[in-house]
Amino acid sequence: MDIINPRGWPRPRGYSNGIKCNGEMIFIAGQIGWDETETIVSDDFAEQFHQALQNVIAVLDAGGGKPEHIVRLTGYVTSREEYLAAGKLIGASWKELMGRGYPVMSFVIVAGLIEDRAKVELEATAVLPS
């Protein structure tokens, strides 16, 4: 896997502008902050983010992948303010679960998610090395 950044652009913080890779792909459906019993773990944004990221990694693990194989992550959040306020806790969760891997990422503010109490949904693409 090669990180791609156009010449002269500053290195982004917390994500990559592009990634080039070869291998078997795993597509991970949107995961929210609920546990294996489909119970939302908390109404706290940071705790939901942590659980949603754990769920992404659990699906990845079931397919034989590891966090460092994630090349794309898209997040849908219901509140820009809650997302920004939880920044330090999200960063701590990221370091704990993902280490220093920074896939290409986009986060989108949405009016709501299918599950009423859900505040964040994460979907991902991973590429296992050839």
Residue 51 belongs to some domain of the structure: yes
Residue 87 belongs to some domain of the structure: yes
State yes or no: pLDDT of 113 exceeds 90: yes
pLDDT tens digits, residue range 7-20? Answer: 999 988 888 888 88
Residue 35 belongs to some domain of the structure: yes
Residue 71 belongs to some domain of the structure: yes
pLDDT tens digits, residue range 24-72? Answer: 999 999 999 999 999 999 999 999 999 999 999 999 999 999 999 999 9
Confidence of residue 4 (pLDDT cuts 50, 70, 90): confident
What's the number of domains the chain is made of? 1
State yes or no: pLDDT of 1 exceeds 80: no
pLDDT tens digits, residue range 79-111? Answer: 999 999 999 999 999 999 999 889 999 999 999
Rg (CA), the chain: 15
Residue 76 belongs to some domain of the structure: yes
Domain of 64: which CATH number? 3.30.1330.40
Side-chain-facing half-sphere of 83: CA atoms under 13 Å? 14
- Contact yes or no for 31/52 (Cβ under 8 A): yes
Residue 12 belongs to some domain of the structure: no
Across 53-103, the runs of DSSP E, i.e. the strands, are 70-77
Q: Report the pLDDT value the prediction gives residue 90, as an integer from 0 to 100.
A: 97
CA distance 38 to 9: 42
Better pLDDT: 63 or 21: 63
Global pTM value: 0.90
Domain that holds residue 51: 24-129
DSSP state of 82: H
Residue 28 belongs to some domain of the structure: yes
